[in-house]
Structure 1
Amino acid sequence: MENDSKQYYVKLPLWKKCTFGMIDSANNFSWSYISSFLAIYLTDTFLIPAATVSLMFLLCRFWDAINDPIVGYLADRTRSRWGRYRPWIMFASAPLFITTALLFWPHPEWAVGVKTAYVVILYALVVLFYTMVNLTYGSLNSVVTQDPAERGSLASWRLLFAYIGSTLMVQLVTRCEPVLSAKHPNMGYFILAVIFAVFCIPMQILCAKSQKEVVPPQPSPKKIGIFKSLAISFKNREFMIVCILFLAQGFALYGAGTINIYWFKYVLGDVNPMATFSLITLIPSMLGCFTSQFWCNKLKHKGKAIAITYAVQVVMYVAQYFLFRNTINVTLLYVLGIVLQYFAGANMSIIYGMVPDTVEVTEYQTKGIRMDGFLNTVSSFWNKVGITIGTSGAPLILALTGYVANAPTQTPAVIEGLQLMKWIMPAAFNLICLICLFWYKLGYKEFDELVAKIAAERPQWEQTTAEK
């Protein structure tokens, strides 16, 4: 019985883990590029007021969040020779990068209303195509293997390549954009986006084709709607806890990413250390990704392992807020950043490895309904709620505190707002996550027992479904 219950515990070769991770590496040349540089591009190059940028981000992120369950619902019901999820990545990749490039096509001479409409339409398309690519990509983790350790390993490789892609993107943009814009005024961001598209589209398609979906869907999917699916997901305690973790991760990663360039430019007074900071924190982030699986296996519990990362991050964020209130020692900033990024890398890796494990919880609760794609999209929805708070809240706080685009210096209110967004808000979200993890009970032992129960009871479920 144990062998039957573990028939989908596939051990993946190294090259497949690498190609799996490279899909997310490409994603960062669109999504992280937008999260890190779109706000300052719109306020300082496209010359749209910060308050308007905040409203645009809020509207587009709201659209981004509500289309998640729809895409997940449709992906779970997709049947093709490539599987359920790979076709979405393969066919949405090109539209994603093309619309990303068009989003950075500058026309500062346009009227504010025209510029606003242009950005809203393009941004809405970008987030839709990104949903099609990234949510189905996340669902692949749960269908290429059922082994929780391998799923955790895949998440580590995913985050490793995500960090590589994100770091390379930041290095290229911070170093090349000023040079390109000096030769071609206002065109630096657009030229880079076109270059990213040329390289990333074929890479993403080929890497998606290299994967194989081995965990099958139920033979005859039960007819349940989106709202019924949502109600089912709410009954999965471990899954709802993971959703809270994703909400915090969305804010901490993308919210901080949005204000990072403002923080370096106006608080530190120099944007050049941003590229250096990104580069020197790459190695600890990668180490965090790889060693996270060691700690999960050692503790035999992903919830306990990730709780440690949250506790450390809370302490370090609060400490840096007080350390850097009046003067900033750049060397100390780098050193603390290295330590913080180790735990942040481990944290992100574990989160992405937790989502696939919750699929079996719902499958057992519903007696046979696998909702790989839908659960991944719901977790992504909460991630994007966090992203919305961070990316739309940052320009709003800037506007409320009196931010003036391209001013040599900003007011104390603006500086304090940037400090709070960079240090205190992430600390608060991480503390909430740490508290929630006291109720996360799905360790390795519990998961293996759950898979065995599913294997034992599945024939009865299928017979009941056939009789109906």
Structure 2
Amino acid sequence: MGNTNQKPEVTKAFTWFHATSVNGGAMAIAATIATYFSLYVQETIGITAAQLAIIMFICTLWDAINDPIMGVICDSVTPKWGRYRTWFTFTPVFLLVDMFLLFSNPGFIQGSATAKCVYVCITYMFYGMIVTAYTMPQMAILPAMTKNDQERNGVIAKGAGVCALMFTIASTFSTQLVEIFGSYRRLMCFYAIFAVISFWGLYKTSEERYVLPKDPNTTGIKQLGYVFRHKEVWPVMLCWCLASISYGFMFTSSVYYAQYILAADKINAGLATGAYQSEEEIGAFIGSTIGSTISTYMGFISVGALLSMVVLMPIFLRTFKTGWKTLLVSQIGTVICYVILFFTGRFNFWYCCILSLVATVIGAMVNAVVNVLVNDTIDFILLKEGKQLSGVVSSVKGFAQKCGNTVTNSGMLAILALCGFDAQNGPLGQVPSAIIGTNVVRFLVPAIVSGIIIVLMVFYPIRKYFPEIEAMKAKMHATGEQEA
């Protein structure tokens, strides 16, 4: 898709604040919660794992439901400060307040398990609603700001790089950062202040150039109908869901693979030498081997994801121009690496680490590149319906992504359970079928998911409308210049 001769419509300041809003301090918060929140709640507040599972289910269910609701609200109201920009002014402040509450252990809930559960449920649910309230407008503001595909791709690529960096920092160094700040609450409030600055900067530097007047007849459920009635959108929704599954399995399954396959192989090899005789020596050896194996292997995965977002994704987008081509090429490479690793990953530890790094560098960009398909879908709906539904489309993408997260969280554990996996048995006590299952969730399942994405991109339905979309955008751009 062309439009290379248009004058720039986004500034460096807008690009920076767009990249560091959702993907900066807010992403550091998300990464910390994803990695450490469950342990924090159980150890500090005193909620059991079973209670927390119920809380998470309730909050996740509501979080998925409120995404389309938020999208409809965004595209239905016209606040004084902008349909999308207005949300950047107050939602990060709510985030700061909620981080103070979510990571507090107030006295009035002590001594009551019910009070603790209700408190955590409310504050965590509020967090999910806040994330939805600033994510949908942040995604929608980019196509409202520029119709230039190269500019859009550049902004998305920079955001992906910041996202990977913040996720790596927060998920890897949170323990050390908590020691520096003195508590999780102070650290999370620091991240939230960073988010406030970024979102306020995004409000200041953004413009809603390409937003059509609100149609009084296009409200509520009708807006979702305008999206869902086009069969071309359904494969894109599936791709958004699968991208979330692919990315989620990449990280979630890696810890299991490192501990129950790679570490187990190293432990068995070490014990076979007879160098460790006493129970104390054997215990120390097993513990150190598990720890070093996980940290080393996850280090390769984290670095791979960072390189994928910061280095390779921008190169791919500049080379292939479109999101669907970038996805197609990257997922082909990912499938090849995963299939090889599925059959040969256990041959050598360093070989497995290096090839896993290559697979991650090629494949981790999937969860960010699909944002380009959001812009394609927004333009497609505008072409077919003549309606600006950026918020609704962004919310549908968010809904599909969260469905993918649910599949990742429950699907991996279900596969392992069916294979007889039992964490209480440790790395050396797993039955052979559990080892096979661990290998399946690490490499085979992501390979299958990437394979389906390849098929979807080969038959990407929106691409045949690209010439019409380009003509529409050129007309809108010319009209905007004349009005200016």
Partner SS state of residue 209, structure 1: helix
Verify the 8 A CA contact 1:32 1:166 in the aligned structure 2. Answer: yes
1:230 aligns with 2:224: yes
**Using the alignment, how far apart are the partners of 1:280 and 1:251 within structure 2?**
20
> 1:237: Cα distance to partner?
3.9
Match of 2:233 in 1: 239
TM-score, normalization by structure 2: 0.78
In the alignment, what sits opposite 2:448? 428
Shift in Å at residue 137 of structure 1? 0.7
State which of 199, 205, 215 in structure 1 corresponds to 2:194: 199
Q: Distance in 2 between matches of 1:132 and 1:441?
A: 30
Measure, in 2, the Cα distance between the counterparts of 1:95 and 1:238.
37
Which runs of 5 or more structure 2 residues have no equivalent in the other structure? 264-289, 478-484
1:285 corresponds to which of 289, 309, 320: 309
What value does the CA root-mean-square deviation take over the aligned residues?
3.7
Q: For 1:16-65, what per-residue CA distance to the aligned partner results, in whole angstroms no more than 9, with x for missing partners?
A: 32222111222211223222333454566666554544443332221111
SS at match of 1:380: helix
- C-alpha distance in structure 2 between counterparts of 1:37 and 1:287, whole Å: 28
- 1:423-462 maps to which residues of 2 (within 5 A)? 423-443=443-463, 446-453=465-472
TM-score for the superposition, normalised by structure 1: 0.80
Give the share of equivalent positions with the same residue, in percent: 21
How much has 1:374 moved relative to structure 2? 0.5
Letter in 1 for 2:240: F
Amino acid at match of 1:30: I
Asked if 1 retains the 8 angstrom alpha-carbon contact of 2:337 and 2:356, the reply is: no
Which residue in 2 is equivalent to 1:169?
Answer: 170
- Mapped to 2, the partners of 1:285 and 1:341 lie a distance apart of 10
Quick one: distance in 1 between partners of 2:410 and 2:92? Answer: 25
Instruction: Determine the structure 1 residue equivalent to 2:117.
Output: 116
- Correspondence for 1:313: 334
Asked if 1 retains the 8 angstrom alpha-carbon contact of 2:140 and 2:391, the reply is: yes
* 344-353 or 46-55: bigger deviation: 46-55
CA separation of 1:380 and 1:258: change in aligned 2, threshold 3 A: same
The letter for the 1-side match of 2:299 is T
| Contact kept in structure 1, 2:380 and 2:465, CA below 8 Å | no
- Write the distance in 2 (CA, Å) between the matches of 1:27 and 1:397: 32
Distance in 1 of aligned mates of 2:351 and 2:185: 35
**Partner of 2:28: helix, strand, or coil?**
coil
In the TM superposition, what is the alpha-carbon distance from 1:429 to its structure 2 partner? 2.2
Contact 2:76 2:219 in 1 (8 A): no
- Greater gyration radius: 2
1:214 equivalent among 209, 212, 215: 209
Q: Which moved more, 1:286-295 or 1:369-378?
A: 286-295
Query: How many pairs does the alignment contain?
Result: 440
Q: Which residue of 2 aligns with 1:86?
A: 85
The amino acid that maps onto 1:206 is: G
1:425–1:96 distance in 2 versus 1, CA, 3 Å: farther
Gaps of 5+ in 1: 459-468
Q: Which residue of structure 2 aligns with residue 383 of structure 1?
A: 401
User: How far apart, CA to CA, are the structure 2 residues paired with 1:26 and 1:213?
Assistant: 24
Q: Which amino acid aligns with 2:390?
A: D
Residues 408, 379 of structure 1: alpha-carbon distance in 2 compared, 3 angstrom cutoff: same
Q: Does 1:252 align with 2:272?
A: no
Aligned to 1:28, what secondary structure does the other structure show? helix
State the Cα deviation string for residues 234-277 of structure 1 (Å, max 9, x = none): 23344322211211122233455456556656664225336633
Q: How does 1:285-364 map to 2 (within 5 A)?
A: 285-297=309-321, 301-324=322-345, 329=349, 331-364=350-383
Name the CA distance, whole Å, in 2 between partners of 1:456 and 1:201: 36
1:156-214: CA deviations, max 9, x gaps?
Answer: 1111111122122223215445x579xx7xx5x44432332243332332234322221
Tell me, yes or no, if structure 1 residue 412 matches structure 2 residue 430: yes
Question: Which amino acid letter does the alignment assign opposite residue 376 of structure 2?
Answer: D
